[in-house]
């Protein structure tokens, strides 16, 4: 059994998308793909997602899954674009229904039924998805959002926003349904994996001491050096630090556009008079 992967960095949103495939069969999964969206002009494109599709086609790979680690608040998902191009099933954690229920009300999105039906499969903790001769194991790792999951594939953990590179730390927990104590416990589940387990993060934001983007680390490196949650930092201290940090953070630039698309599984809202609109609730 052998699995390969290739990372695609979406610099406008600092998002890392992964294409993971089983060498024996060519079956592949795309993890957290992003659309290209310019909020100032409203222009939407799919060049970044199409580059992933082209990469897969050149190697004869068949994309069978789009794996979402959660409903992202910082980029518009290209899940539906890839689904329509390949027939892949869009997978997300089964607690997405909680996220849909909240944000469908925020955006008055009458078309969003908060039952997860915008996705093709809702994954629960411990679920196993076949990928050719390999396997994808699902860990429910909430705290950033209620629906966050980590995908374990062939000795690697694709953690989404739960963990970042050791010098940057961990996910924020001030979104609806987020919770710092819950995040701490989720991270400890990940850090209880074998120390050689590779960790692939969902974003990289350069720290003050680093000028090159990076997205691969290991359990051992996170336990030794993560600035928020390394070994020796207990839950109470983590919660205090995390909440203090969250209180200083602005909303993500694409928070409102992203969630309107991402609770719909990457689909745009229904057209009105022949045009698609993203709403801007005023508070």
**What 3-state DSSP class applies to 68?**
coil
Question: Residue 124 maps to which CATH number?
Answer: 3.60.15.10
The answer as to whether 240 is a domain residue is yes
Residue 48 pLDDT: 98
Report yes or no on 221 lying in a domain: yes
Instruction: End-to-end CA distance of the chain: give it in Å, rounded.
Output: 52
Averaged pLDDT, 182-196: 98
For 221-247, b/e burial (b = at least 16 CB within 10 A) is: bbbeebebbbeeeeeeebbebbeebee
Q: Identify the pLDDT of residue 283.
A: 84
pLDDT at 238: 98
As a whole number of angstroms, the distance between CA 50 and CA 48 comes to: 5
Confirm whether 217 is domain-assigned: yes
Q: What predicted TM-score, i.e. pTM, was given to this entire model?
A: 0.97
- Report the domain count for the chain: 1
- What gap in Å lies between CA 30 and CA 160, rounded to an integer? 12
Q: Is 212 left (phi over 0), alpha (psi -120 to 50) or beta?
A: beta
Q: Check residue 1 and give its pLDDT.
A: 57
Which residues constitute the domain of residue 11? 3-250
What are the pLDDT digits (tens) for 68-85? 999 999 999 999 999 999
Within-domain flag for 264: no
Strand positions, DSSP E, 202-261: 216-218
Q: Which of 144, 173, 157, 169 has the alpha carbon at shortest distance from 71?
A: 144
Q: Is residue 117 part of a domain?
A: yes
């Amino acid at each position: 059994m052998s699995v390969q992967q290739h990372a695609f960095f979406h610099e406008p949103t600092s998002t890392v998308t992964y294409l993971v495939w089983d060498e024996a069969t060519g079956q592949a999964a795309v993890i957290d793909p992003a659309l290209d969206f310019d909020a100032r002009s409203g222009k939407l494109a799919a060049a970044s997602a199409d580059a992933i599709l082209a990469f897969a086609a050149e190697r004869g790979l068949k994309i069978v899954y789009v794996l979402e680690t959660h409903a992202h608040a910082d980029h518009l998902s290209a899940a539906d674009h890839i689904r329509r191009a390949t027939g892949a099933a869009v997978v997300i954690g089964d607690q997405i229904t909680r996220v849909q229920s909240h944000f469908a009300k925020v955006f008055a999105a009458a078309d969003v039924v908060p039952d997860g039906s915008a996705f093709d499969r809702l994954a629960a903790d411990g679920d196993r998805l076949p990928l050719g001769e390999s396997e994808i194991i699902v860990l429910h790792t909430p705290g950033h959002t209620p629906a966050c999951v980590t995908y374990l594939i062939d000795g690697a953990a694709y953690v989404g926003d739960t963990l970042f590179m050791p010098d940057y730390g961990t996910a924020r927990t001030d979104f609806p349904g987020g919770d710092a104590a819950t995040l701490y416990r989720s991270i400890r589940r990940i850090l209880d994996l074998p120390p050689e387990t590779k960790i692939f993060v969902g974003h990289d934001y350069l720290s003050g001491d680093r000028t090159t983007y990076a997205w691969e680390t290991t359990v051992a490196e996170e336990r030794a050096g993560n600035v928020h949650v390394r070994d020796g930092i207990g839950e109470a201290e983590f919660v205090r630090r995390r909440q203090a940090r969250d209180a200083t953070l602005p909303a993500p630039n694409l928070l409102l556009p992203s969630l309107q698309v991402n609770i719909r599984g990457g689909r745009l809202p229904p057209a009105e008079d022949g045009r698609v609109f993203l709403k801007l609730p005023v508070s």
